[in-house]
Amino acid sequence: MALDRAHRRLFIPAYGNGGYRAFQLDESGLPADRSAMYVIGRESIYGRRSNPVPSERELNFPGAITVFDTSTQRLFGIDRFNNRILVFRAHPDEVEAYPAAQVVIGQKDLASTERGIGPNRTGMMASGALDEEGQRLFVADPPNHRVLVFDIHPDRLDTDPAATIVIGQEDFHSRERGVGPDQLAGPSSVAYDPVFNRLFVSDMGNHRVVVFDVHPDRLTNHPSAIAVMGQRDAVSREPRAALDDLKPETLAYDWVHHRLFIAEDLQHRVMVYDAHPDRVGGPTKALAVIGQPDAFSTHPAVGQDRVAMPRIAVEPETQKLYISEGFPAGNRISIFDITPGKLHTGMFASDVVGHETTAGGPDFEARMAQGHLNGKTLAAARAVALDPLDHRLFVADEYNHRVVVWQLDGMNRVADRAAQWVLGQPDLESSYMGDPSATNMTVPLAVAYDKHSKRLFVGDGYHNRVLVYDARPGSLRSGMAASVVLGQRDFETVEHGAGRDRFSFGVRMGRGIASRFIPMGLAVDEETQRLFVSDGENNRVLVFGIEEEGLANGASAIAVLGQPDFQSTEPGRSATALHEPGHLAYDPQHGRLYVVDARNQRVVVFDASKSGLSNGAPALAVLGQPDFVSGPPPPVPRVMGGSAPASFDDRSFLAPNGLALDAEAGLLYLTDAVIPADRVLVFDVGAKTLENGAPAVAVLGASQTEPGTQRFFGGRKSYPGQFTLRDARGIAVDSEYGRLFVTGSFSSRVVIFNFPRAAWRFVVGPKSLGYFHTPDAIDLEAREEALVVRHARIVSDGVDVSGTALVSVSEMFVDERTQRHSRMLVSEAAFAASLPRSSMAFFIDGATDRKHWLHVSSEPGAPAELMFRLLDMSGDELHRWQETVPADGQLGVVVEERAREVPESATLLLEASRPVSVAALRSTLNGRGDRILARIPSASRPRSQRQVLPWVENGAGSQWELVLVNDGDGVMRGDIELRDRFGERSPLGMDSELMPYAVPPHASRRFRSDGAGPRAESGYAVVHAEGDGAPMVAALVRHRDGDTWTSESVVSASLGRAVRFAVNAEKTLIRHGDIDTIVHITNAGLSAAHVRIGVGDGRSFERTVMPGQQLSVSIGERFGDGVRGILEIESDVVVSVTARQTTVNLRGETIGVVLPALTNGTSFAYVVNGAGLATELRLANTSAVEATGVIELRLPDGALARDALLR
């Protein structure tokens, strides 16, 4: 944090989101407004982008201790991960939104991020302190064990300045670690005393605070300290012996009353010391403790008198202490009045920034970042467990201190993106952090589920315990209490240690929190009722008997692995030793336990069968290392200040984390968690004997070259998307339905991989709708899947289902405000699963920028010979050609590529030697280059002499055209009657409300409305045929936004007493905005129609449609958002019905598609994926019993598409 004393502004670093938020304070130092005025150090206040490209506007994880120069109105932003300080002009009259830095310190230019040593390079810039009067900046450089002093006078400061003084080293090129009056070891924080010209340095490696005289007239290179706090002399470096002794961490100084404030991050408190020159030095006790009730308490909690993981700043003039608490703590700034008469241990905060009540006051209990938390959000998901029987997913949400539970569908897919239950919090909107109890948890890092007893086991990391929940479907509820605790004697105790009934997970910053490894793990042996627990800091795995009748609080373990007995805790690397074990997986078929041995960067395999298990038993095999004594290779040294990870491949790991076992397939899945790995490795472990150091057989989430060349076994970029993983931790496998659940912690999500296969099992409940989607993956690099076309068939086990396919066109959309990318829906077309036919007719419109696609699939047994004939509007043949479709295969035809010319009004006739299924679509480029899809109007005989188009629309951006196709051998005549929704005759944008027609044999006719009028007028059309022949009738309704067409819908003629549609208004990766289905019911008869409208789940309502009138109903308004089911329209007289699905896309445009009525068809002739195209398959079970079967996907040559992916 930084304070502008002149204009009362507080600059708060948003560590995870980047940049500084500026808040206005009042004269007393309290917030005048709880909303930030502006942002410095980001290009947007809304987005969160990790590792932005270094620039003059963006900081990457800014330091909590930053500097503001009140005298010159400059902000010095410490950009820790880019090893630099950006200097911004920040006068309130001059600051602009998202300003550019004027100068950079520590780098040669604004694009560089070098680490190094010398007068103008650092290993890492940790914190700074400012001498405003002398215009000097003191910068702590921990890797180089020194503090640098820069001249920052505006007249002399330019980019890449050289430091003028070095403290802690003999010269600018030395980096010796040491102890003594003139040496330092990892200095992490500095604070300046302007009254006595002293610099306080937090010398963490030497467990002390060192005080230097830095008066400008006396300061030279390599000065000696004038005092040492926390040690008896200048050469001692003993760690503190008691919790009330001094520990050096983040510093802030009150120069009015000469007090030094030290924020102890992992002890969750701020200690206040007397630092007057007459009394400073030596071992010392605190004057007061802020954030805890006494000097011996260290438990994290969020409240008015508690703090967690604090960083601090002091304003001496107003006597205010500002405490910053980030993830996984309070996400807030607590403000304390530190006036000497009010400062005392356990004091209450005066105010808070970052959380407010609904009334606008301070909320001291809330802690969720951005104040936004619900069942759809996660913050650092670390572990996941699957309930395959009752179809639930349990996710450990580390930073929200809870376990979130999703109800899945019958195939273990996400049915609702909002979770149904939460454990550890009272509800899905809360994220409290308090003292331990049976109903809360802090930093949960592991979950395991026992499907036999229906119990959930949760590793409560910070409380060193395992919570046991009764998770039976009828018992599970949000905020429920755990029934049993392991590792503690009761729910209120927090102890750590060794022995048979204690754990020491060692969770803290860098261990389980913001770390490469998870120091705990859980696995259940369901058959013998045993629980395996990784006890990280004790370097062992404990085994507990968990039979329900005998399990009690504080139960003792029955066995230990990794140590010879229950009291030993030493780390090691051998067949019998472990070093910080993490996640676990148990193989019930072979009785083997797989253990992530994190620090040794390996997975060890133990015989954990009930007969083979013994204390300290040696492992059977090891993965990730060639043998039991080999360890990870040494890291590759960087130029200065740290090291890069060593190389890794298919036999070695960088940061092994999550484990999941598919016992039936004999496959072990391992997450390798950090950049540049970010991958899931797959090992074949089905054999009775395992090979040490065996290679992975596959990798997920990482790049892979073309077949036949070497694989890349690491993720190349950290971008989120469907191709890559970021910070993969916990993992769970669904062997029955072929899914893998992987937590992407940094991206705060759970990624679900589906395994490719040709036959996709479905289970659809009575009167219900099932669905599948193709993925059409894309990521921030604009990589996308290649276009792949297949065809599919519904193969039911007994109960038939009906199908509808929706083909969607989308494109990558990047929201510049939020810096998030997603799919934007452009257009959609829908067609029903078809019944094979031998002849069909299609209307072809050869307008500019339009193409017509026909995809034809054949039945098993023999190929189908096809004859295509293209005729003009007079019925004269323009072109004919023949094609052959392989048996059970598919053929794709683009009419414009086959025919020499395609007129604007034409008919395409198809004759097949054997019945075939056809999906016919047309694609038109609109004014901005979007592909607008629509179904090609088509028909087969027989047809009614009176056909009704139930809905058309004209005006206010809508235009429609009527299409008639004569596929017969004689002239077809009749008239077209147009009526509005009230039943009155109306031209609806045409020349007349009654129009005669005459269509020659094999010809077509079209009638187009004018599209005029400020108001949309809807109605319907009735087409009467004279004589025996009736043409094919369809309407094309187009909608535009301004001058750009955004959607096109094809309305077919329909008449009946019962019509059903497959509707799905649930949001998807493509459909983000409001989704609705509008039903138009037209009664063109002479009697009133009594209509029932239902959605298949028992909900329905009734309406009466008077003769000649049209009824329009919003399904979303009647039944609520997210309706997924079978829309049923039943009438006592014949009516005409259409259903139009509308989706508001990310541009705010309404994309419409007319849904086909359900038929008995079983074939989808066109299933497309990639290059911006995706397909949704909807399966409707209209029966009263469950329907099961498979969706079978095939290649164009008829072979099974074994690499097909659906979700």
Q: pLDDT, tens digit, for every residue of 274-312?
A: 999 999 999 999 999 999 999 999 988 899 999 998 999
Mean pLDDT of 471-500: 96
What the chain holds in terms of domains, given with CATH numbers, is 1-114 (no CATH), 434-755 (2.120.10.30), 768-1194 (no CATH)
Q: In what side-by-side order are the strands of the sheet with 820-832?
A: 768-773, 1173-1181, 802-815, 820-832
Q: Which candidate, 199, 51, 67, places its Cα nearest to that of 125? A: 67
- The single-letter DSSP state of residue 425 is S
- What was the pLDDT predicted at 712? 33
- What was the pLDDT predicted at 675? 65
C-beta separation of 70 from 90 below 8 A: no
Per-residue pLDDT for 328 more than 90? Answer: no
Q: How many residues does the chain have?
A: 1207
pTM: 0.87
C-beta separation of 822 from 810 below 8 A: no
Least confident interval from 17-31, 193-207, 1189-1203: 17-31
pLDDT band at 776 (very low <50, low <70, confident <90, very high): confident
Rounded to whole angstroms, the Cα distance separating 313 from 297 reads 22
Per-residue pLDDT for 1075 more than 90? Answer: yes
The span from the first CA to the last CA of the chain, in angstroms, equals 46
Q: pLDDT, tens digit, for every residue of 131-148?
A: 999 999 999 999 999 999
- The single-letter DSSP state of residue 433 is -
Per-residue pLDDT for 645 more than 70? Answer: no
Mean pLDDT of 547-552: 91
Q: Is the peptide bond before 300 cis (omega within 30 degrees of 0)?
A: no
Percent of the chain surpassing pLDDT 70: 93
Mean pLDDT of 840-850: 92
Helix (H, G, I), strand (E, B) or coil at 204: helix
pLDDT band at 817 (very low <50, low <70, confident <90, very high): low
- The single-letter DSSP state of residue 155 is T
| Residue ranges of E strands in 358-464 | 381-387, 392-397, 402-407, 421-423, 444-450, 455-460
Helices and strands (DSSP H and E) totals, the chain: 2, 82
- What was the pLDDT predicted at 42? 79
Per-residue pLDDT for 644 more than 50? Answer: no
Q: pLDDT, tens digit, for every residue of 340-361?
A: 999 999 999 999 998 888 888 9
Q: Which helix (H) or strand (E) holds 1118?
A: helix 1115-1119
| Residue ranges of E strands in 194-238 | 198-203, 208-213, 227-229
CA 828, 834, 836, 839 torsion-angle sign? negative
Least confident interval from 812-821, 874-883, 950-959, 984-993: 812-821
Per-residue pLDDT for 1024 more than 60? Answer: yes
Mean pLDDT of 320-325: 94
Rounded to whole angstroms, the Cα distance separating 653 from 343 reads 51
Q: pLDDT, tens digit, for every residue of 395-407?
A: 999 989 999 999 9
- CB atoms inside a 10 Å sphere around CB 938: 22
Rounded to whole angstroms, the Cα distance separating 883 from 895 reads 12
Q: Which candidate, 722, 750, 641, places its Cα nearest to that of 175? A: 641
- What was the pLDDT predicted at 613? 96
- The pLDDT mean for the chain works out to 91
Q: Which candidate, 426, 442, 556, 554, places its Cα nearest to that of 505? A: 442
Per-residue pLDDT for 746 more than 80? Answer: no
- What was the pLDDT predicted at 406? 97
Whole-number Cα distances in Å, 353 to 335, 356, 367, 370? 8, 8, 11, 11
C-beta separation of 1135 from 1080 below 8 A: no
- What was the pLDDT predicted at 417? 85
Rounded to whole angstroms, the Cα distance separating 605 from 898 reads 62
C-beta separation of 148 from 119 below 8 A: yes
pLDDT band at 941 (very low <50, low <70, confident <90, very high): low
Per-residue pLDDT for 106 more than 60? Answer: yes
- What was the pLDDT predicted at 678? 81
- What was the pLDDT predicted at 819? 56
- What was the pLDDT predicted at 53? 73
Q: Who's near 600: CB < 8 A, 6+ residues apart?
A: 573, 578, 579, 625, 631, 632
Q: Which helix (H) or strand (E) holds 873?
A: none
Q: pLDDT, tens digit, for every residue of 557-606?
A: 999 999 999 999 999 999 999 999 999 999 999 999 999 999 999 999 99
Mean pLDDT of 853-867: 96
Rounded to whole angstroms, the Cα distance separating 648 from 478 reads 42
Per-residue pLDDT for 220 more than 80? Answer: yes
pLDDT band at 324 (very low <50, low <70, confident <90, very high): very high
- What was the pLDDT predicted at 369? 67
Mean pLDDT of 1127-1152: 95
- What was the pLDDT predicted at 711? 32
Percent of the chain surpassing pLDDT 90: 76
Long-range contacts of 75-78 (CB under 8 A, 24+ apart): 75/2, 75/11, 75/20, 75/40, 76/2, 76/105, 76/128, 76/130, 76/137, 76/152, 77/13, 77/20, 77/40, 77/41, 77/101, 78/125, 78/126, 78/127, 78/128
Per-residue pLDDT for 704 more than 90? Answer: no
Whole-number Cα distances in Å, 544 to 498, 522, 555, 589? 15, 11, 8, 20
Per-residue pLDDT for 815 more than 50? Answer: yes
Rounded to whole angstroms, the Cα distance separating 656 from 602 reads 7
C-beta separation of 1194 from 759 below 8 A: no
Q: Who's near 123: CB < 8 A, 6+ residues apart?
A: 83, 115, 116, 117, 141, 142, 143, 144, 175, 640, 641, 642
Which is more confident, 519 or 60?
519
- What was the pLDDT predicted at 710? 30
C-beta separation of 938 from 948 below 8 A: no
C-beta separation of 1194 from 890 below 8 A: yes
Which is more confident, 713 or 849?
849
- What was the pLDDT predicted at 288? 97
Per-residue pLDDT for 150 more than 60? Answer: yes
Structure tokens at 200: 């306080």
Rounded to whole angstroms, the Cα distance separating 1052 from 1136 reads 10
pLDDT band at 416 (very low <50, low <70, confident <90, very high): confident
- What was the pLDDT predicted at 950? 96
C-beta separation of 277 from 262 below 8 A: no
